[in-house]
Amino acid sequence: MKTISLTALALAIATTGATAQEMTQTTQLERGGQIGGEETFTGTVFVAPVFPGNVNDVSAGEVTFMPGARSAWHTHPIGQYLVVTSGTGWYQEEGQPKQIMRTGDVVFAPADVNHWHGATDSTAVTHYAIQAAEDGTAVVWGDLVTDEEYAAD
């Protein structure tokens, strides 16, 4: 199994010859965000763009899950990094026990691995979700995680 470190990903992005002629900055207020849709999230989730996929189709979003909130099952055609910036949450690969993630942790989901992630039942969590698109698709959504699946060890 081949994995790419977060440092290698950042280096690859930095050396791709982006077409911008000068550096730009956007503030958190300018980026905005929205409540995650009921078709892809359970509970209260706030999704804010961090940067669009204009460099090698790599994009990132800052996602905040309130206690009990989680994503639906999903896959990524290229894979996904989660960089936990605040709180404590859970993630789970299909067929495996759920795992805990905490502030400072980096979780990597390889290409096409079905998984979910979100808050624990009692704590909120915020992470950056970083992924690349293939043929215009960065995520393929599946079924919502049931309460039984979420509560299982």
Res. 153: pLDDT tops 50: yes
Question: Residue 15: pLDDT above 80?
Answer: no
Sequence-separated (6 or more) residues with CB below 8 Å from residue 18: 54, 55
DSSP 3-state assignment of 134?
A: strand
Answer whether 0.85 is exceeded by the pTM. Answer: no
Confidence of residue 30 (pLDDT cuts 50, 70, 90): confident
pLDDT tens digit sequence for 52-104: 888 899 999 999 999 999 999 999 999 999 999 999 999 999 999 999 999 99
94-138 pLDDT tens trace? 999 999 999 999 999 999 999 999 999 999 999 999 999 999 999
Give the Å distances, CA to CA, from 97 to 90, 107, 149, 153.
10, 15, 10, 6
